[in-house]
Amino acid sequence: MTSGSLPPFPFRNAAHDRLCERRGDEEFLDTAWTDSATRVLVMRGWDLALGDGEGSLRLVSPQDAPPGERMLLGAVDGTAYFLVIVADPPSPEGGGNDGANAETVATGKIDDPTQGWPFGSLRQVAGRLDDVQASLAVHAVSLTGWHLRHPRCSLCGAETEVASAGESRTCPSCGAQHFPRTDPAVIMLVVDADDRCLLGHNSARAPGWYSTLAGFVEPGESPEQAVVREVKEETGVDVADVGYAGSQPWPFPSSLMLGFFATASTTDIVVDGTEITEARWFTRADVKHEVESGELVLPTTISIAGALITSWYGDDLPASRS
């Protein structure tokens, strides 16, 4: 298996121009915002505003957009796209402010055009979005998540302000600039000399669920080193020949999944017993038989894990008959 051999998975294709050079251009931003052709993607907390039909985002004109924090996502074929983050609806007790500014919340109480709109998580809809909407949505969710989770300066503790159309936050107290962060994680498909595949059962999952091993890259560590370390820690298996397979933004909340293939130099398994409670070597026949019988459940989600396993399996993964 080589780099670039993965089957399709969500968020793989960048389909919008991020217009990085326009983020500080107030004239452009104001002009684009008055153009009725401009489209606005709306988020409330971590959820996206959805269309009335299945599997699409609700993209409205600036005139129909609710009040909230406005950010530039970019453009597709000459149409500008913005993100507006609205506050959570106030709870009956009067709480519910998730970090957006109080003025926005107050405005939203008076006239909330999002009332009645369906909202849903990116996980729910990712598999049904086309490339353009998936590209905009993963950008919007990543950006929103960072803003919601970083309202204060990490140096002095003061409340920070959105800058450069959402590209960063600045601290009015100490002047620090803060940029969105992404946490690199490795996810790897390990095979042995007999071309069996190593999959692990995560303790947080239901019995019978197995997937590729994964873990965060530590400070000062390369992704390749992280692959070797994580496989050893979680299963006791030594690996060599670590090769890059592909990547996937994974904003749940802020990861970048770096996919790898790796070859095992040992096969004895000793699981860590905490994160990974079971791990096994699977032949393709094992996978087919056990998935069809319902004993084995593989990741059928939107994650790159499914693409890595499918790439090794060599065909569409079998479906359960139970």
Residues 6+ apart with CB under 8 A from 117: 42, 49, 50, 58
Which range binds Zn ion by CB under 5 A, 32-40, 146-154, 207-215, 293-301?
A: 146-154
Binding segment for Zn ion (CB under 5 A), chosen from 30-38, 149-157, 271-279, 304-312, is 149-157
Nearer to Zn ion, 106 or 155 (CB): 155
C-alpha distances in Å from residue 166, one per residue of 20, 84, 195, 266: 11, 10, 47, 48
User: Which residue stretch of 126-134, 172-180, 198-206, 284-292 sits at the interface with Zn ion (rule: CB under 5 A)?
Assistant: 172-180
The nearest distance, CB 160 to Zn ion, in angstroms, is 7
What is the amino acid identity at position 235? T
Determine if 155 is a binding residue for Zn ion (CB under 5 A).
yes
Per-residue binder mask for Zn ion (CB under 5 A), 226-255, x = binder? ------------------------------
Name which of residues 258 to 317 contact Zn ion (CB under 5 A).
Answer: none
Assess 20 for contact with Zn ion (CB under 5 A). Answer: no
Given the complex with Zn ion, which of 99 and 236 has the nearer CB atom? 99
174 binds Zn ion (CB under 5 A): yes
Beta carbons within 8 Å of 198's beta carbon, 6+ residues apart: 190, 191, 192, 213, 231, 235, 237, 264, 269, 279, 280, 281, 282
C-alpha–C-alpha distance, residues 86 and 147, integer Å: 12
Q: Is 154 in the site for Zn ion (CB under 5 A)?
A: no
One-letter amino acid for residue 184 of the chain:
P
Give the CA count within 13 Å in the CB-facing half-sphere of 300.
10
Q: What are phi and psi of 120, to 5 degrees?
A: -155, 165
Q: Does 169 bind Zn ion (CB under 5 A)?
A: no
Figure out which of the listed residues 156, 181, 218, 283 binds Zn ion, where binding follows CB under 5 A.
156
Q: Within the chain, where are the H helices?
A: 26-34, 102-110, 122-125, 131-149, 223-235, 284-293, 304-313
Residues touching Zn ion, count (CB under 5 A): 8
Is the C-alpha dihedral spanning 310, 313, 319, 322 positive or negative?
negative
Cβ proximity to Zn ion, 151 vs 243, nearer residue: 151
List Cβ neighbours of 284 (8 Å cut-off, separation of 6 or more): 313, 314
Selected range binding Zn ion among 25-33, 50-58, 147-155, 292-300, rule: CB under 5 A: 147-155
Q: Are the C-beta atoms of 167 and 23 separated by less than 8 Å?
A: yes
Give the range of 98-106, 113-121, 175-183, 284-292 binding Zn ion by CB under 5 A.
175-183
**Which one-letter DSSP state was computed for residue 315?**
S
Going by the DSSP 8-state scheme, the letter that residue 62 receives in this structure is: G
Choose the binding region for Zn ion from 2-10, 15-23, 163-171, 304-312 (rule: CB under 5 A): 163-171
* Residue of 14, 132, 176, 256 that binds Zn ion (CB under 5 A): 176
User: Within 13 Å, how many C-alpha atoms sit on residue 273's CB side?
Assistant: 1
Nearer to Zn ion, 6 or 171 (CB): 171
Quote the least distance from Cβ 169 to Zn ion, whole Å. Answer: 10
CB of 150 to Zn ion, least distance (A): 12
- Contact residue for Zn ion among 171, 189, 231, 296 (CB under 5 A): 171
Structure-block tokens of residue 282:
């699977």
Residues 40, 137, 153, 305: which binds Zn ion (CB under 5 A)?
A: 153
- Where does this chain bind Zn ion (CB under 5 A)? 153, 155-156, 158, 171, 173-174, 176
